[in-house]
Amino acid sequence: MTPCKRIEIIIEEALARRLEDKLQALGAPGYTFIPRAGGAGDRGLMRGDDPTGAASNCIFIIVVEDDEVVRGIVEGVQPFLTRSGGVCLVSEALWLRH
């Protein structure tokens, strides 16, 4: 297994396309996108079953080995979080490569 960082970004689904573009520009090696995530936080209830997606969050999961890329992603997504709320989590992980 390879040590890596796991970055999880939870953001309003309406911003997903812009965040995808930003992640590519920041050198993210890839990501997993989970749409229609619900939950509750300091900005209220987000319902994952809203058919329009207007009251839904989404989750991006990114696995990164390079600490510079991790820093770039964290700094690059900060404006999204400042404007709209959301969460960015960075944790240590082990990557079992295929």
Q: Catalogue all structural domains in the chain, each as residue range(s) with its CATH number.
A: 2-95 (3.30.70.120)
- The answer to whether 13 touches 50, Cβ cutoff 8 Å, is no
Q: Are 93 and 2 in contact (CB under 8 A)?
A: no
Q: What is the CA radius of gyration of the chain?
A: 14
Instruction: Give the strands of the sheet with 87-95, arranged side by side.
Output: 32-37, 57-64, 2-12, 87-95
Contact between 86 and 28 under an 8 Å Cβ cutoff? The reply is no
Using the CB atoms, write b or e for 77-98: b if 16+ within 10 Å.
Answer: beebbeeebbebebeeeeeeee
The per-residue pLDDT string of the chain (98 residues; one tens digit each, 9 = 90 and over) reads: 999 999 999 998 889 999 999 999 999 999 999 998 877 666 666 666 666 656 688 999 999 999 999 999 999 999 988 888 889 999 999 999 77
pTM of the model as a whole: 0.87
